[in-house]
């Protein structure tokens, strides 16, 4: 991991009596796309708001880009798309971006060029001179992303950036996010769209009731166990005894079953057992766990 761009130690927020974030310790390396997920009300937005200075932490510490949170010079290197974006909708898209460019102290002479670039990036060039109140929901989300990007931040927080977008719009935003990573930027992403996160994140943390309950690289989290999906005929009771000896049978559905194996070497052994026993093997597929399965597992697992 490159140097840490976000670092928190025991970061805590208590609202009245509700503990929204409970001693969160996280480290996010430079150039990463980091996914922050958890059920509704888990404390995701509160955590981001503490980092960018909209909510005051109750206790704990945090630093962004090597400086303690609240540092004004660092703040200029940070972009933020809030979850409930409501901008000054009497402005045009272009005016909004000028306003954000000015807030970030971007030199006046470079603003028009940069604003043109981000409008193009989010595909709103043609709507630049319309008032935001005439924008569709997806267009409003795009102008929000443009506002977060206009100052070319080194660290970007996006709270549900694609919730209002259609599948093509989502794909385009994924491309924008990965192109930022290619340029060495760090992106901290909140989303409930787990299949999307799975496509682009390097690392994730899952929080529940304000606590981190799972974290790591996607690769480690999703490839830990070996699961194999098999479709075969003529098994003649093989499943109940000899196959079950191989590992935990997770699911049986007609002539298909899913089995968890201890190691990779069990895969060819299982295939030859089926064939030697007269079974007809139609499909054998090593499954990767999906982020959604992991999420449901760890979030529900905590309740049992
Ligand atoms: N300003 C506030 N005052 C009091 N309680 C709050 C405040 N903001 C959030 N909370 C509470 O803190 C908890 C965490 O809320 P938060 O918005 O951080 O969750 P979230 O993980 O972002 O949820 P979602 O997925 O629904 O966006 C919730 O129980 C919420 O009711
Ligand atoms: Mg939220």
The domain that contains 258 carries what CATH number?
A: 3.30.70
- What is the DSSP annotation of 155-172? EEEEESTTTT--HHHHHH
208 lines ligand 1 (CB under 6 A): no
**209 lies in the same domain as 236:** no
Ligand 1 atom, smallest distance to 43 CA: 18
Alpha helices (H) along the chain: 44-52, 72-75, 93-103, 111-121, 137-149, 167-182, 194-200, 218-223, 266-276, 291-301
**15 lies in the same domain as 150:** yes
3 state SS of 101: helix
Residue 268 in contact with residue 261, Cβ under 8 Å?
no
Question: Across residues 168-193, what is the average pLDDT?
Answer: 91
pLDDT in tens, 187-207: 999 988 899 999 999 999 999
Distance CA 212, CA 23 (A): 9
Q: Is the pLDDT of residue 143 over 60?
A: yes
* Selection from 13, 29, 12 nearest residue 155 by Cα: 29
Ligand 1 atom, smallest distance to 207 CA: 21
Radius of gyration of the chain (CA): 24
Burial grade of 142 (CB within 10 A; 0-12, 13-18, 19 or more) = buried
Range of the domain at 257: 225-288
With respect to residue 298, please indicate whether it lies within any of the assigned structural domains.
no
| Phi, psi values for residue 165, rounded to 5° | -95, 150
Higher pLDDT, 290 or 236: 290
With respect to residue 300, please indicate whether it lies within any of the assigned structural domains.
no
Three-state secondary structure string covering 184-238: CCEEEEECCCHHHHHHHCCEEEEEECCEEEEEEEHHHHHHCCEEEEEEEECCCCC
CA-nearest residue for atom 5, ligand 1, is: 15
Higher pLDDT, 288 or 273: 273
**C-alpha 116: how far from chain center:** 28
Q: Is the pLDDT of residue 304 over 80?
A: no
32 lines ligand 1 (CB under 6 A): no
Q: Is the pLDDT of residue 215 over 70?
A: yes
15 lines ligand 1 (CB under 6 A): yes
Residue 201 in contact with residue 189, Cβ under 8 Å?
yes
Burial grade of 24 (CB within 10 A; 0-12, 13-18, 19 or more) = buried
The domain that contains 191 carries what CATH number?
A: 3.40.50.300
Higher pLDDT, 119 or 220: 119
Ligand 1 atom, smallest distance to 39 CA: 25
Boundary (domain end) residue, out of 154, 189, 216: 216
Question: Across residues 229-252, what is the average pLDDT?
Answer: 82
Per-residue pLDDT band for 271 (boundaries 50, 70, 90) equals very high
Percent of the chain at pLDDT exceeding 90: 63
Distance CA 36, CA 30 (A): 16
Q: Total domain count for the chain?
A: 2
pLDDT in tens, 1-53: 568 999 999 999 999 989 999 999 999 999 999 999 999 999 999 999 999 99
Q: In what order do the strands lie in the sheet with 59-64?
A: 18-29, 4-15, 59-64, 67-68
Distance CA 75, CA 67 (A): 10
Query: In the prediction, which pLDDT does 20 show?
Result: 97
**277 lies in the same domain as 135:** no
């Amino acid at each position: 991991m490159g140097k840490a761009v976000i670092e928190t130690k025991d970061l805590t927020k208590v609202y009245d009596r509700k503990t929204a974030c409970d001693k969160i310790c996280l480290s996010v390396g430079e150039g990463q796309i980091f996914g922050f997920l958890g059920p509704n009300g888990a404390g995701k937005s509160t955590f981001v708001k503490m980092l960018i200075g909209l909510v005051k932490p109750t206790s704990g510490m945090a630093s962004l880009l090597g400086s303690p949170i609240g540092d004004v010079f660092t703040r200029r290197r940070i972009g933020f798309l809030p979850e409930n974006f409501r901008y000054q909708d009497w402005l045009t898209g272009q005016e909004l971006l000028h306003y954000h460019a000015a807030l970030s102290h971007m030199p006046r002479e470079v603003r028009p060029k940069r604003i043109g670039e981000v409008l193009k990036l989010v595909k709103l060039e043609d709507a630049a001179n319309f008032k935001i109140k005439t924008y569709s929901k997806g267009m409003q989300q795009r102008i929000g992303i443009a506002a977060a990007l206009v100052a070319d931040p080194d660290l970007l927080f996006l709270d549900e950036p694609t919730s209002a977008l259609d599948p093509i719009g989502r794909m385009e935003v994924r491309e924008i996010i990965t192109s930022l990573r290619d340029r060495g930027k760090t992106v901290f992403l909140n989303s409930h769209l787990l299949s999307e996160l799975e496509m682009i994140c390097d690392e994730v943390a899952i929080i529940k009731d304000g606590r981190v309950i799972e974290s790591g690289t996607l690769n480690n989290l999703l490839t830990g166990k070996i699961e194999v999906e098999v479709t075969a005929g003529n098994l003649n009771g093989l499943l109940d005894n000899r196959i079950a000896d191989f590992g935990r049978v997770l699911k049986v559905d007609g002539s298909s079953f899913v089995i968890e194996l201890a190691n990779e070497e069990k895969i060819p052994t299982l295939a030859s057992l089926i064939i030697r026993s007269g079974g007809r093997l139609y499909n054998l597929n090593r499954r990767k766990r999906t982020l959604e399965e992991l999420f449901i597992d760890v979030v529900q697992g905590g309740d049992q």
